[in-house]
Amino acid sequence: MENMPKAFEEFSDARKNGFVKVKEFKDKGYKVVGTFCTFTPWELMDAAGAIGVSVCGVSDETTEDAEAHLPKNLCPLIKSSYGFAITNKCPYIYFSDLIVGETTCDGKKKMFELLGRIKNTHVMQLPPSSIGEESFNMWKSEILKLKERLENDFQVEITEEKIKESIKIKNEERRAAEEFYSLGKLCPPPLWGYDMQKVLEGISYSLDRKEGIVNLKSLTKAIRDKYEEGNKPVPKSAARILITGCPSGGVADKVVKSIEENGGVVVCYENCGGVKEKMTLVREDINPIDALTEKYLSVPCSVMSPNDGRLDLIEKLIDEYKIDGVIDITLQACHTYAIETFNVKERTNSKGVPYLNIETNYSPSDMGQLKTRIAAFIEML
């Protein structure tokens, strides 16, 4: 985007720039916690005085290394993450004092066993459902176990006051993120979806959270101001696309770019790096552990059964973002999201909106095929 503030470049390059920053934080005595999923209660890590950072792999660079230990027909995110760990090619994993994983799928669960051989790893056991008192109590016990693990490993006390303060900071970040991605509701949107994706990814790599919030608010205001001045880079004719499904960071170059090179524009990401986790705040008027339990248990991930929350959210986003078409990304061997494609297509079509499912991995080998399918889908719109 032309004439965007420095904050835009900072968010776009946050993952790469963070490689240096994470070492600087380590040198200052901070502990680093590597995370894999939106179920991880970031507030506990912050309350422990630690820096939380995503260690999900988004490249096939180390896939071959990972396949020395893992099956070839496994999720590319799992293979990439594990490959970067065993090769020490990811500074975030290398500098992590603790890795926190969750049992969001059988592949990750078993990979964490191997990861635990080389890194200090803590696994949170998710309940099979987000509904009911039993699920709430189980997840609450897992949050308390993580709290105890952080306290023991880092020799700190996580007080109720510290958790409450961290909740306020994270909620403020969620509000700033919601304000940013809500720019996609404008017709036409004021930025391309590929640029939006880079910023949404960058939020999780803003190691100084308070500074990141200020920068994100500044960026949102700058984009909106330029839009009101007439700077509208996206044509009105662009088909408005909602992305749902698996994390799209590792396939953005071949999926999102293909969408936007063929007459479409991604205006909303419902998946893990998008609005899914950020739309619900942590309550600040009840016991903070109960509040964290309630909030994170409500994440509408496909691991939960039933998962009507995801379908309801997609339906809501279709209306709010005036969606012309839904593209559902399934990473290879992600069985829970693959099975949910039936329900997502059914609910999407019930809104009169066309649906396309894409199953892919991090390899560029299917790029030509994807471009053809995406171009035909958008042309139909």
Cβ–Cβ contacts within 10 Å for residue 60, how many? Answer: 18
Amino acid at 273: G
Q: Are the CB atoms for 114 and 83 separated by under 8 Å?
A: no
33, 38, 41: which is closest to 293 by C-alpha? 41
- The predicted model scores a pTM of 0.95
271, 268, 265, 275: which is closest to 192 by C-alpha? 265
Cβ–Cβ contacts within 10 Å for residue 227, how many? Answer: 17
- Burial string for 139-158 (b: 16+ CB within 10 Å, else e) reads bbebbeebbebbeebbeeeb
245-287 per-position pLDDT tens digit: 999 989 999 999 999 999 999 999 999 888 999 989 999 999 9
Q: Identify the pLDDT of residue 16.
A: 76
State the average pLDDT for the chain. 94
Per the rule left: phi > 0, alpha: psi between -120 and 50, beta: everything else, 234 is: beta
What is the spatial distance between Cα 189 and Cα 183, in angstroms, rounded to a whole number? 7
What is the spatial distance between Cα 182 and Cα 191, in angstroms, rounded to a whole number? 11
79-137 per-position pLDDT tens digit: 999 999 999 999 999 999 999 999 999 999 999 999 999 999 999 999 999 999 999 99
Amino acid at 289: I
133-184 per-position pLDDT tens digit: 999 999 999 999 999 999 999 999 999 999 999 999 999 999 999 999 999 9
Name residues whose C-beta falls within 8 Å of residue 182's C-beta, 6 or more positions apart in sequence.
none
What is the spatial distance between Cα 11 and Cα 216, in angstroms, rounded to a whole number? 8
CA quadruple 76, 81, 82, 85: dihedral positive or negative?
Answer: positive
Q: Is pLDDT of 1 > 90?
A: no
Q: For the residues of 4-37, what is the DSSP string, one character each? A: --HHHHHHHTHHHHHHHHHHHHHHTT-EEEEE-S
Mean pLDDT of 325-331: 98
Q: Is pLDDT of 218 > 70?
A: yes
Q: Could you identify the residue written with the tokens 């929350």? A: 309
Q: Which domains does the chain have, with CATH numbers?
A: 6-158 (3.40.50.11890)
CA quadruple 21, 26, 30, 33: dihedral positive or negative?
Answer: positive
173-199 per-position pLDDT tens digit: 999 999 999 999 999 999 999 999 989
Tokens of 271: 């998946």
Q: Could you identify the residue written with the tokens 């396949």? A: 67
Alpha helices in 248-381 (DSSP H): 252-260, 275-278, 288-297, 308-320, 335-350, 367-380
Alpha helices in the chain (DSSP H): 6-12, 14-27, 42-47, 63-66, 76-87, 91-95, 106-115, 133-154, 160-181, 193-203, 209-228, 252-260, 275-278, 288-297, 308-320, 335-350, 367-380
Q: Are the CB atoms for 58 and 250 separated by under 8 Å?
A: yes
CA quadruple 276, 266, 212, 204: dihedral positive or negative?
Answer: positive
